[in-house]
Structure 1
Amino acid sequence: MGEQKRKTAASQKHQTEFIFGKKNYQWMLIGLAVIALGFILMSGGGSDDPNVFNPEIYSWRRIRLAPAIVLIGFGIEVYAILLNPNKGKE
């Protein structure tokens, strides 16, 4: 019975600690939302008939804006990974 008490005391001391904190996960979700927005902006512009060319596929939104938003989203993801969750807590 004494050994069982030691095991429970040891398990109470040892709590699971995640690599990332709550703030990291919040920034990761924001980054994923920005990336998804970029891909949504990139979609469309095709033609139902393969013999008809639709020049809308080369719109400013699909060529410049959407890839820039996706890259910004990846930058947010890098920031979320590198963010120190313990900074400011003491």
Structure 2
Amino acid sequence: MKKDNSPNQEFLFGKRNYMIMLIGIAVIALGFILMAGGGSDDPNVFNPDIYNWQRIRLAPTLVIIGLGIEIYAIFANPKK
């Protein structure tokens, strides 16, 4: 009879923490998707859409909110 002396393997975070992390990653990804685009095919033509509110205000705000969600997911108590 072989006795297993290894401790019980346990995840660092709980299921709730991982769900919050996935939500944070989705918010960050949405921010980067909204930040993309607005360029021009011709380098001699300026496209003013690069400075619209979506790319200047909304997208960076979503990325920062997503990072805040990630920090909360790390510090959230997995036992609750």
Which TM-score applies when normalising by structure 2?
A: 0.93
1:51-62 mapped onto 2 (5 Å cutoff): 51-62=44-55
Which TM-score applies when normalising by structure 1?
A: 0.83
Moved over 2 A (4+): none
Higher-Rg member (1/2): 1
Identity of aligned residues (%): 71
| Distance in 1 between residues matched to 2:14 and 2:40, nearest whole Å | 45
| Distance in 1 between residues matched to 2:50 and 2:79, nearest whole Å | 46
For structure 2, the 5+ residue unaligned runs are none
Tell me the residue number matched to 2:36: 43
**RMSD of aligned residue pairs (Cα, Å):** 1.1
Q: How many residues align?
A: 80
1:1-90 mapped onto 2 (5 Å cutoff): 1=1, 4=2, 7-8=3-4, 10-11=5-6, 14-87=7-80
For structure 1, the 5+ residue unaligned runs are none
Higher normalized contact order (CA 8 Å, seq sep 6+, divided by chain length): 2
Letter in 1 for 2:13: F
Structure (1/2) with the larger helix percentage: 1
